[in-house]
Amino acid sequence: MFQRAADATVRIENGPSRGSGFHFIRPEIVVTNRHVIVDPTAPITAVTESGLRLNQQIVAESPPNQHDYAILRTTAAPPVRTPLQPKVILPLERGKEVIFAGFPHGVPHLLVQRAIVSGLVSADVFYLDGSVNGGNSGGPILDPTDGTIIGIVTQRRFLGAQDLARLRDAAERVRVHCQQIAGQGFVEIMGINFGAFSQLMAEGMLLIQQVLEANANTGIGIGFSVSHVAAECQRQGIVP
């Protein structure tokens, strides 16, 4: 089942964004999280563990902030891959063992891991006790008893996320302001250009925020049921 998960999972690239995805129902259909697609007008590529690059186009997507999925179609002839078949379980039972796969941190190394469903957010959203990181978004969650897909890795939970977001926003405002006033004069005290110094500090805070957010991990992830994707595939005529 671990190899089955690996054979179905891809890395999704779209502009600066990196996430995970999987072949679904048919080899040419790929599913990921909608938030992984940051620019639908830019090229979207699914990359296999072996490095095969597959160009994608969007077939359907969830509404903003709902269900968080994007259904893609490979534009060329589909490769020999393992499409996962859906199994809808609503609600999932706490304690159920699952397997999830993806490319954490956007690196080219595919990881397949065990986890359990540790709690429910709602009937179709659940907590995982697995080590979910940035880059895992959009990866499949499988039932290890039969290899079907029951959910999609959607996000990780960690303390301080809102504080880090505020730090990022404040640092970005300072950085932009310093860029806008560049060349309009400067204040220098004891040889220090405080305009340039402020911009350097803002850029440093942005780097600190990125490192802290990338490595923050409480071992808690959130998954969405595959039910919404399966229903949309039926509407689109993509059926098992």
Report pLDDT digits (tens) over 93-104. 999 999 999 999
What was the pLDDT predicted at 202?
61
Q: So what's the pLDDT on residue 24?
A: 97
- The domain limits of the chain are 2-158+217-235, 161-215
pTM for the model stands at 0.77
**Six-digit token string for 44:** 């979207």
What's the CATH fold of domain 2-158+217-235?
A: Thrombin, subunit H (2.40.10)
What integer pLDDT is reported at residue 183 of this predicted model?
Answer: 58
| Residues in the chain with pLDDT values less than 50 | 158-160, 216
**What is the model's pLDDT at position 158?**
47
